[in-house]
Amino acid sequence: MEITALPTPPSTASPDNFDSRADDFLGALPQFQQELNTYAAALNSLSTNSVSTTSLAISVAEKTLTVETGKSYFTGMSVKIASTTNGSLWMIGDVLSYSTSTGALVVNVQVVQGSGTFSSWSVSLSFNGIVTPEQAPDLATLEQVNQQAFLLRAIGEPFALWTHLTGVDEPSNSGTAKFIKLTAGEDGSGEYNEGLLTSESVSGTAPDVVATAVIDYVPSPMNGQTVKLLNTSRQFIRPGSSGTEEDDQFASHTHPIGGILDYVGAGNGRVVGSTATLNSGATGGDETRPRNIGATYYMRIA
């Protein structure tokens, strides 16, 4: 469409017709605004609005759908995939890839509303920032906000959760971001670390357990690296050189015993003022540790 040209604007250089030109110019602005909005909507529809008949289930995961070709979707753009039959059912995520020739659109969905599987969708630009339910109650549940917060974790960062408390969610591995639980025995079918770890090894007896595994996820920059399964070995993390391990030990110390020892020697004679090695009775448990409380450790690997 063609936007109507604006009248000649007023100018102080032409004082004789300043008033009439000002009236004409200002009077034309409402129509100009309407035409400009119509043009902008047409451009937006042409470049970033589309429809799809791909069957998709509403969930936080990577989604692939086919839309029209020749659109202007690009990696990192946030889009909303909404059901055309019920606008309250939707998914929001970032574009991972788009083929202008085939229309194949891949989106990393991070926020959803509703559930079910549908095959009639509209795709449009959207906002995909991290929000709270209080800021946008119609855009996110508390669980969805938590999952978005996990995406702020750095790759290789071990972090702890109190998973024994009701309402605490584990990081989801349904999207492109991947996490591992630093626990042995979680790499089987249907378990948390399935498809992410290999060469798991557990040796020793408590409290001297050594537990490791190798990251086995090609897209991860940590692929092939050995990690310590802290939830199984129950080692503490302390500041220092990253990855350097130290065995438990006491600081060097003595226990002086005062007074003069008086005891009967090997013969019948009485020996006064001699010394002897004495051992106190044993007390305590099977390890040396400070007072503590357990937590479950995870790590982002991709």
**Topology (CATH level 3) of domain 47-123:** Thrombin, subunit H (2.40.10)
pLDDT digits (tens, 9 = 90+) for 226-265: 999 999 999 888 888 998 888 888 888 776 655 545 554 5
pTM: 0.52
DSSP, residue by residue, 89-130: -EEEEEEEEE-TTT-EEEEEEEEEES--EES-EEEEE-----
Under a CB-based contact definition with an 8 Å cutoff, are residues 181 and 169 in contact? no
Residue 241 CA to residue 233 CA, distance in Å, equals 19
- Domain ranges across the chain: 1-45, 47-123, 137-239+290-298
Among the residue ranges 86-95, 112-121, 234-243, 249-258, the one predicted with the least confidence is 249-258
Residue 235 CA to residue 160 CA, distance in Å, equals 13
Which pLDDT value is given to residue 138? Answer: 47
pLDDT digits (tens, 9 = 90+) for 157-204: 999 999 999 888 899 888 778 999 999 999 899 999 999 999 999 999
Residue 77 CA to residue 42 CA, distance in Å, equals 19
% pLDDT > 70, the chain: 82
Residue 110 CA to residue 234 CA, distance in Å, equals 33
